Amino acid sequence: MNINCLAPKLVLCILVATVPASPALPQDVHDWPEWRGVGRDGDWTESGIVSEFSTDSLKVLWRQPISSGYSGPTVADGLVYVMDRKADGADQSERVLCFDAATGEPKWEHEYDAVYAGVGYVAGPRASVTVVDGRAFALGTMGHAHCLDSKSGDVIWAKNLNSEYRISASKRMPIWGIAASPLVYSDKVILHIGGADGACLVALDIESGKEVWRALEDRAQYSSPVMCQQNGTDVVVCWTGDSVAGLNPNSGEVYWRHQFTPRNMPIGVATPVIHGDQIFVTSFYDGSLMLRMNPDAMTVTEVWKAIGESENETAALHSIISTPVWIGVHIYGVDSYGEFRCLKVSDGSRVWEDTTAVPRSRWSTMHFVQNGKLTWMFNERGELILGELSPERFREISRAKLIEPTTAQLRERDGVCWSHPAFANRCIFLRNDKEIICVSLAADQDAGGSVQRK
């Protein structure tokens, strides 16, 4: 179903993702067209934003009702995308929603039947929509893949990957559903789905949706693939349920594969963090792993691995949802029960721990975005925190409550906000299970527009 003009009561949620190497994305844009922004590295280069604030000083530019879901908003070419889920007994559907970035006006909606079966945490879609060259690529919890016209919402192609790649039939469906955001490279969209018969990752032609290649017999997990270069060669790095692997994005050839078998279950959600020739991943049960891409061969070497006795007694960093931030020779992230930690890159040893930014709770989450020397953090209580991270300490500059936690994603601790926000156009776009809102972060708040209460 496509609707070109939506009523104000529309509930929206979509996700968008795009690749750093794509020639369609100039590096000076201030869009957020894919998971964690251009390049998927959480780096926000925009200027003219506030350097301190309070809850009362930030203007809500617009808000629109949406339904539940984990997928974070993405922003491209003046439009905002998000995904959500509607469920009324046997009637279950997912939606890809599109709003005007400046006004919040609903632009279009694509809704399709999606019955959740055999997956936990059923609030809604997980992945962010990827927007590239006028196309929006969306991936649902049960493997419904869509390529949509990003301006109109018209369907270019659609596929049921669960059926086509026998994900559920072969008992390879991740226990929390399919979560990795689509990655676009050249004329292909790369998907981490855990399909049978060597299709943990598949690449589809962006024009037709036909398979171009498949790779790995690994189980899937929830981590989104990222692009990097090794020895001047483009490499797609994917952390699966069994390994960290580097693939040829054109052919699916496995350049290298480092075994990283979970001691309990595939549970990695955080995106691999790539800094120079090093790759860092962190898991709730299995701790931290640092790899180095070798300069003279398409291989990797393990630098160190740090794992605690359990998710309660941890070493280094046992993250669940939150992707850490790498600054200089230190890594900063959130441990299994909300411990905000600083680690040494060299060996993973802990420098400090802070408990003021994130609640002390199991799976407690905070998302990091770097802008120059300052770090923007959005925690699961709906608070936006601006701070400075150093080996000495976490220095909080400002904190503001922007949106309320909701219970569809997690009923414990009065709900959470687990979806990653988008930072674009000197604004932050964020959602819970009831609404999507846009808040101005412009240094000149009067230039950001007026508050619209709905």
Residue 426 tokens, joined: 């000197």
Q: Which residue has the tokens 């220095």?
A: 395
Q: 350: pLDDT confidence band, cut at 50, 70 and 90?
A: very high
Instruction: Tell me what pLDDT residue 445 has.
Output: 77
Phi-psi region for residue 16, left (φ > 0), alpha (ψ -120 to 50) or beta? Answer: beta
Which pLDDT score, from 0 to 100, does residue 116 have? 97
pLDDT tens digits, 94-131:
999 999 999 999 999 999 999 999 999 999 999 999 99
Q: Is the dihedral of CA 192, 193, 199, 200 positive or negative?
A: positive
- The most distant pair of C-alpha atoms in the chain lies apart, rounded to whole Å, by 58
Check residue 29 and give its pLDDT.
45
For the chain, give the mean pLDDT. Answer: 92
- Secondary structure of residue 282 in the 3-state scheme: strand
Q: How far apart are the first and last CA of the chain?
A: 26
Instruction: Give the pLDDT of residue 89.
Output: 85
Mean pLDDT of 291-296: 96
Report DSSP letters for 100-155, one per residue. ETTT--EEEEEEEE----S-S--SS--SPPEEETTEEEEE-TT-EEEEEETTT--E
For 409-431, what is the mean pLDDT?
95
- 446 falls in which pLDDT band (50, 70, 90)? low
Does 49 score more than 60 pLDDT? yes
pLDDT exceeds 50 at position 157: yes
7, pLDDT greater than 60:
no
In angstroms, the Cα distances linking 75 to 31, 197, 221, 420 are: 6, 35, 26, 13
User: Cα separation of 452 and 311, whole Å?
Assistant: 44
Can you tell me the distance from the alpha carbon of 364 to that of 231, in angstroms, rounded to the nearest whole number? 38
Strand, coil or helix: 15: coil
Q: Which two tokens stand for residue 152?
A: 């109109």
Question: Which pair of tokens denotes residue 85?
Answer: 């889920």
pTM: 0.92
Question: To 5 degrees, how large is the angle CA 214–CA 13–CA 18?
Answer: 40
Average pLDDT of the residues in 164-185 = 97
Are 223 and 239 within 8 A, CB to CB?
Answer: yes
**Cβ-based burial of 1 (10 A; exposed 0-12, middle 13-18, buried ≥19):** exposed
Question: How does residue 412 score in pLDDT terms, banded at 50, 70 and 90?
Answer: confident
Q: Give the per-residue pLDDT at 30.
A: 87
Rounded distance, CA 200 to CA 192, Å? 6
User: In this prediction, what percent of the chain has a pLDDT beyond 90?
Assistant: 89
Could you give the domains of the chain?
A: 2-445 (2.130.10.10)
